[in-house]
Amino acid sequence: MTQVSKIPVKTEAASTPAPAAARVWDPFQSLRQEIDRAFEGFHRGLQFLPFGRAMFDVEPTGPRGMIQGIAPAVDIAEKDKEYQLTAELPGLDEHHVEVKLSNGVLTVNGEKSEEKEEREKGYHLTERRYGSFQRSFTLPDDVDTNKIAASFKNGVLTISLPKSAEALKSEKKIEVKAA
């Protein structure tokens, strides 16, 4: 029987936004961001919309376009009452994984280090492998951040992101009529 380990989710206090008088509106900044996002989307695949944010917008962790080689693949699924984020982290355990929430951004990071040494007659072999990763996701507004939970089992990190009560109540079925 396998055992599931709970991973604590750390929440950092939100910083206060700058006063309205301190922010300067630049009409071209928004346009530039959208154009940059469109061109970045070409080499990442069709799962990113060029002129709109994906539901879980990914914050880059390194040079543009390098995220696939640095960080583990993540699956995100929307269910009736929650979103579920799953990441495969082979070779890691729950002690080497950290999950943080700050200002609506969920960050998962981890570090792996391995050392192997063999001493035989006539040779001495030493191998060291290490690496770290970080992935960040902008959460949708309807996530209840106080109820986020993370668990780790058999090298798979699962993060449950429950929808808020208001989001669950706001769903309304609309009747479709023939024209």
In this predicted model, which residue has the larger pLDDT, 14 or 29? 29
Residue 29: the pLDDT is 78
- Which residue spans within the chain are E strands per DSSP? 5-7, 9-11, 57-59, 74-78, 82-88, 97-102, 105-120, 123-138, 149-153, 156-162
Report yes or no on whether pTM surpasses 0.85. no
Question: Mean pLDDT for the chain?
Answer: 76
- Tell me which residue has tokens 């001495």: 124
Q: How far is CA 116 from CA 66, 124, 163, in A?
A: 29, 11, 45
- Quote the distance between the C-alpha of residue 122 and its chain's center: 48
DSSP 108-142: EEEEEEEEEEEEETTEEEEEEEEEEEEEEEEPPTT
Distances (CA, A) of 35 to 39, 42, 109: 6, 11, 29
Please report the pLDDT score of residue 157 as a whole number.
93
Q: What is the DSSP letter of 96?
A: G
Q: Where are the domains of the chain?
A: 5-11+59-168
Q: Which residues contact 29 (CB under 8 A, 6 or more apart)?
A: none
Rounded Cα distance between 32 and 20, Å, is 22
More confident residue, 7 or 86: 86
The model's pLDDT over 125-174, given as tens digits with 9 standing for 90+, comes to 888 877 888 888 888 888 898 999 999 998 899 999 998 888 777 667 78
Look up the CATH number of domain 5-11+59-168.
Answer: 2.60.40.790
Residue 149 zone, left/alpha/beta (φ > 0; ψ -120 to 50; rest): beta
Higher per-residue confidence, 58 vs 86 = 86
Q: What was the pLDDT predicted at 36? A: 79
In whole angstroms, what is the distance from residue 157 CA to residue 151 CA? 6
What pLDDT digit, counting tens, does each position of 75-112 carry? 999 888 899 999 988 878 888 899 999 988 999 998 88
At 16-50, the pLDDT tens digits run: 555 555 556 677 777 787 787 777 655 554 444 44
